[in-house]
Structure 1
Amino acid sequence: MNSALAQWQRGERGQVLWIDFERYAWRVFAGATAEWYQDPVRFAGTIGQALRVVRSDVVAIDVLAPFIAAWRAEAAHEQAPVSVSALTDFLSQQPACLSFISEVADALQHAVGDRADLALKLFSPRDLLLAVGADEALASDFSALDDLGAALVELLRNLSSKAFACLQLHTLAPAGLSADEQDAYAPILRTAEYYGWITCLSFGGVHADTLPDCEAAIALYPEVAAEDLVDTAERRCGGGLTSRFWLGPDPLAGELGLLHGTIPADAYPEAVAEKIRSLGR
């Protein structure tokens, strides 16, 4: 594998810049359109346009976002309580959402494949349940997490032919993933490895100096400052591009081989461009 991330892992590349910028592109380049997840050609074209400014070495596709948007649209009319069986059925019965992601992946591979790796970004089972309105009790139930994890494995299988370089499993839990959720996401990681994708766990809710354990090949801490991360000999750690970095005046402090973070949707374009220049891009 000759992706930027694979080269970095092997020590053949000094630094990788991985910026999640979809929501920023949606607001700044697409005018916050309500039809963002309906036109794959426009979506891919907008992401490609934004990439010329952001210059990330990795472009993540949030594959569950169209499903979540469709679920919320239906739930607004039905007012039905969330159940795992209903959610797993929903994930398997949305050909329009799957087609959207499939076409976006193909279009982005054609448009930016020579400039950036494609990452398949996937909410963790717990975060997906919370995103569709489940309560904390259901989102913490092992059986629910296990069933939903199996449904997400099936989703990965449906996208296995696409040119993804890695899987980014993302959670906003402030303490990382519980033991039950680690058991639930293990098949997701194993499936990604089977398809030859680098596995990444992204801990978007972690701010503390004590970092959660990570069973994936790469651990991402987008809200932990670069000086608080150690680029280990195993080259497994990335982060540093925190919300504070994007929204504040301070430059990046500390050297890190894998710079990772998310541009806040409300960041000023001029400030973002200046931050990108400060990173040497």
Structure 2
Amino acid sequence: MKALDDWVHGRRDTLTWLDCDRYVWSVFAGAPDRWYDDPATLVAATAQAHRLLRSDVFGVNVLGPFSRHLVPAGDAAEVCAALELAEPRRVLADTLDALLHQLGDHADIVLGCPSPRRLFASGAEVGFDELDDVATGLLEVIRTMADRPVGGLQIICDTPSGPDDDEIDVWSSLLAAAGHYGWISAIRLDGVADPDQVDTPLAGELLLLPRVAADALPDDRRHGGGLPPALWADTAEAARLAEAAAKRRFRFGEIPADAPPETVVARIAVLGEAAR
């Protein structure tokens, strides 16, 4: 698949990108405790779910296998030490290889990388040097995946007002690596509910806004969104949101772990009909 590259360069008319990791974990795998440490279970459940969800893109959580080794209140040195561990790197590589084998002909596989600030405790005072150290640690993990046919790199930021200048600056090495490897780069802003909140130009070929409804998004090829959490509820307003999203060419969003399966099927059907 070259869905992302074809979309960015105008060679396809629509793109549907669903973040379904938590939904697959909950509904298809039964919410196991060690989800990211068991590639066989993760990949089998994901392959089963993909036949229903039919997303053009699937994101692999780079941090997943490392998460249980990270101390919530740890400093930069502790975070970097965790990112250097061999076993989580092996598990990540095994997961990526298996997903590429299972889904590579049907969906683009992208690496979902947290913005370095997400690896520190909420509200912690973190300076540029600490952010940069963690960005370097994440870059070293990503470099170990560079020989795989990955479609893109997604940097995930959950700051409510969008990233600050330090955060944006430390993304540069990650985005440069994506360009060097020929990957499409995307910036995902989980904390932003209105595009007008972002008043700083952001690098990256795509800008993903999972909390923004379709009628609040610019109608262009760069902005992905239209599938906010409210769309996956079983309400008349959710159905209206889905109809509006179906008219967009680039749909992006995350399926909540507790979304009713029957409702998810109905929403996917609406999006699928519009894409034909």
Q: Confirm or deny a common fold (TM above 0.5).
A: yes
User: Cα offset for 1:10?
Assistant: 1.6
Q: Which residue of 1 aligns with 2:8?
A: 9
Q: Map 1:240-255 to 2 at 5 A.
A: 240-249=226-235, 250-251=239-240, 252=242, 253=244, 255=247
SS in structure 2 opposite 1:42?
helix
User: Cα offset for 1:209?
Assistant: 4.0
Cα distance in 1 for residues equivalent to 2:122 and 2:151: 34
Q: Which residue of 2 aligns with 1:121?
A: 112
User: Cα offset for 1:20?
Assistant: 0.4
1:18-71 Cα shifts (integer Å, max 9, x gaps): 000011000101100112122212211111111111110001001102211232
CA contact (8 A) 2:194 2:216 kept: no
Q: What letter matches 1:225 in structure 2?
A: A
Q: Which residue of 2 aligns with 1:230?
A: 218
1:4-23 Cα shifts (integer Å, max 9, x gaps): 11111121111010000011
Q: What letter matches 1:136 in structure 2?
A: G
SS in structure 2 opposite 1:279?
helix
1:116-145 Cα shifts (integer Å, max 9, x gaps): 00010011001122xxxx25233x421111
**Residue 258 of structure 1 is aligned with which of 247, 250, 254?**
250
SS in structure 2 opposite 1:37?
helix
Q: Which residue of 2 aligns with 1:78?
A: none
Matched, 1:33 2:22: no
CA contact (8 A) 1:241 1:262 kept: yes
Q: What letter matches 2:20 in structure 1?
A: F
Structure 1: gaps spanning 5 or more residues: 76-80
Number of residue pairs the alignment of both structures matches: 265
SS in structure 2 opposite 1:189?
helix
Q: Which residue of 1 aligns with 2:204?
A: 216
SS in structure 2 opposite 1:137?
coil
Cα distance in 2 for residues equivalent to 1:135 and 1:277: 38
State the 4+ residue runs in structure 1 displaced beyond 6 angstroms. Answer: none
Deviates more, 1:35-44 or 1:192-201: 35-44
Q: What letter matches 2:171 in structure 1?
A: Y
Matched, 1:111 2:102: yes
CA contact (8 A) 1:203 1:220 kept: yes
Q: Which residue of 1 aligns with 2:75?
A: 83
Structure 2: gaps spanning 5 or more residues: none
SS in structure 1 opposite 2:154?
strand
Q: What letter matches 2:111 in structure 1?
A: L
User: Cα offset for 1:183?
Assistant: 0.7
Cα distance in 2 for residues equivalent to 1:214 and 1:257: 21
Cα distance in 1 for residues equivalent to 2:155 and 2:42: 22
Q: What letter matches 2:75 in structure 1?
A: S
SS in structure 1 opposite 2:124?
helix
| Identity across the alignment (%) | 36
CA contact (8 A) 2:234 2:260 kept: no
RMSD: 1.5
CA contact (8 A) 1:17 1:56 kept: yes
SS in structure 2 opposite 1:259?
strand
Task: Give the TM-score normalised by structure 2.
Answer: 0.92
Task: Give the TM-score normalised by structure 1.
Answer: 0.90
Q: Which residue of 2 aligns with 1:137?
A: 124
Cα distance in 2 for residues equivalent to 1:136 and 1:174: 12
**Residue 225 of structure 2 is aligned with which of 222, 227, 239?**
239
User: Cα offset for 1:150?
Assistant: 1.0
Q: Which residue of 2 aligns with 1:172?
A: 158
